[in-house]
Amino acid sequence: MKYVLHSPLSKNASTPAAEIEKLSAKWLEHPFYKSDLVLGLDIGIEGIGIWLRKGPTPLFAQTIVVELPEASPLAKRRANRAARRSRVSCKKREAMLKNWIVKYGLLTEVRVNEIWENPSIFQRGFEHRYRAIQKSGALKSHEALVSCIRHCLQHRGFDYHMSNDSAFPWGDGMDDASQIIQWAKRAICPPGAVKNWKQLFSDAAWSDKEEKWEKVMAALDETVRRYGSQPIETHLEKHFREKNHPNLREAARGENFPRELIKEHLRLICNNHESFFGSKEKLDAALTELLGESDQKLIPGSIIDFHRKTQSEIESLWKRKTNDCPFIPFLATATSPAKEKCSPNSSPEIRRFKLLQFLAERTFVAMDGNRIERTYANADLYAALMGLLETDISATLAATPAPSRTKLGKRDLKKLVETAAKAKLAPDSVSHNADFFEQLSDLLFPKLSVLKCRTCALV
């Protein structure tokens, strides 16, 4: 595949040369280049570069090495804000559920308001859920079914494996193997999420320690086994196994299940009590509004998956917060628009430009015998990396909530670079290769949350 960089001023790639030449001549005569006093700052990973010039004449240049703090002073504030938003979403789901109950005839509006003002009615949520899955028609009142539904919505399970917006469930990062093992002792995870994590673990600091690697893999495999063994039903059965001495029962609270298992569980409860809805068609319509069309993915319009804003509200907010491109006033011509919004990071042109700019400006460190030297990407490496990028672009542009992406770990990425560049990489301890490959991986396989943001094509 051949890549051609051309001006964004024209859709015809064969005509912008004259425009670019005029703009370049204008800029080269600008006081910014000819006579102004200009201070340049380059804030990098390990230091800050300073350059002062008068016109084209350098006056001062210095590189200052600094250590950036790892602590996040606003972490507590962000956590409190997330908690506030979570409470608001929970109240919104409660209101949506009350309307849903009245809409599908489970209870009247007056009765709904009565039981919501008397929370003691909902105290037997676990017991009602256990009875509801035993056999069809086990619950004898509409109130008991409403108690089950509300209880499931309050304990709706986690969804970090269904989106790319969350951190690791065991905490920040993956360099602490003991933290992952401790978390996995009680975790329940779907096979797809565990498969993705195992690929990422090839970059962890402990990945070359065989004993730790085997312990982590075994712990994660156990979470998958629990996922496939009807964990909700098993958990409720264990809790109610002791009938005569409730104080000896295993705790019902404290377990967090994947969202899709909660949906399946709630769907079974409602199907077992179809008569409460009046007909099969009415039940199907009610479950679609409550749980969505699928249990295996997030459905923004469903009640159980609602969080903060609907999809249309989120898109409206994105449009309002998108800035105008700051370069348009300088690049505008008679035929180009006076204003234009910044392009999204998910734009294929933006992603290609960022990778090409990175490879043109950044170097990795290779070994030449006992000597180390900075090396730029060659044509073969350009082609190999652009091929990886095109594959990921196709995957992320697919119309699915959680695209199926093939990500290379840093270890495999380093092997690819060594093969394509025909060079042996220097160890990370004596080079900046660790930073190079971390940034390269972020460009090739960015998080979906990053792709949703906006940028300017010329930054």
400-450: per-residue pLDDT in tens? 444 567 778 888 899 999 999 999 999 888 888 988 998 999 899 887 667
| Predicted confidence band of residue 149 (pLDDT cuts 50, 70, 90) | very high
Minimum mean pLDDT range among 111-115, 166-170, 439-443:
166-170
pLDDT score for 17: 65
Are 126 and 170 members of one domain?
yes
| Predicted confidence band of residue 94 (pLDDT cuts 50, 70, 90) | very high
Number of domains in the chain: 3
Give the residue, 310 or 173, on which the prediction is more confident: 173
Are 294 and 241 members of one domain?
yes
For residues 392 and 394, give the distance between their C-alpha atoms in angstroms, rounded to a whole number. 5
pLDDT score for 453: 61
pLDDT of residue 136 exceeding 70, the answer is yes
pLDDT score for 456: 46
Read off the tokens for 230.
């009807």
Minimum mean pLDDT range among 109-118, 175-184, 265-274, 290-299:
290-299
pLDDT score for 410: 82
Q: Which of 288, 311, 334 is the last residue of a domain?
A: 311
Averaged pLDDT, 171-189: 85
Minimum mean pLDDT range among 43-57, 67-81, 106-120, 361-375:
67-81
Are 63 and 176 members of one domain?
no
Averaged pLDDT, 214-223: 92
pLDDT score for 339: 73
226's CB contacts (< 8 A; 6+ apart) are 187, 188
- Is 424 domain-assigned? yes
Q: Domain of residue 61: give its range.
A: 20-67
- Is 76 domain-assigned? no
pLDDT of residue 319 exceeding 90, the answer is no
pLDDT score for 135: 85
pLDDT of residue 382 exceeding 90, the answer is yes
- Is 151 domain-assigned? yes
Are 369 and 419 members of one domain?
yes
pLDDT score for 342: 80
Are 141 and 204 members of one domain?
yes
For 321-369, the pLDDT digits (tens) are 777 777 777 766 666 666 777 877 888 988 999 999 999 989 999 988 8
pLDDT score for 428: 87
- Is 336 domain-assigned? yes
- Is 130 domain-assigned? yes
For residues 97 and 161, give the distance between their C-alpha atoms in angstroms, rounded to a whole number. 25
Are 217 and 252 members of one domain?
yes
- Is 11 domain-assigned? no
Averaged pLDDT, 38-44: 87
Are 46 and 120 members of one domain?
no
Averaged pLDDT, 41-52: 84
CA end-to-end span of the chain: 24
pLDDT score for 16: 56
Give the residue, 138 or 325, on which the prediction is more confident: 138
Are 228 and 361 members of one domain?
no
Q: Which of 278, 311, 344 is the last residue of a domain?
A: 311
pLDDT score for 265: 94
Q: Which of 290, 311, 332 is the last residue of a domain?
A: 311
Minimum mean pLDDT range among 69-78, 142-151, 154-163:
69-78
Are 145 and 287 members of one domain?
yes
Are 94 and 146 members of one domain?
yes
- Is 138 domain-assigned? yes
For 3-40, the pLDDT digits (tens) are 443 444 444 444 456 777 777 788 888 888 889 999 99
Average pLDDT, the chain: 82
Are 254 and 352 members of one domain?
no
pLDDT score for 168: 74
Are 182 and 273 members of one domain?
yes
- CA 220, 266, 313 angle in degrees (round to 5)? 85
pLDDT of residue 62 exceeding 90, the answer is no
pLDDT score for 171: 74
- Is 73 domain-assigned? no
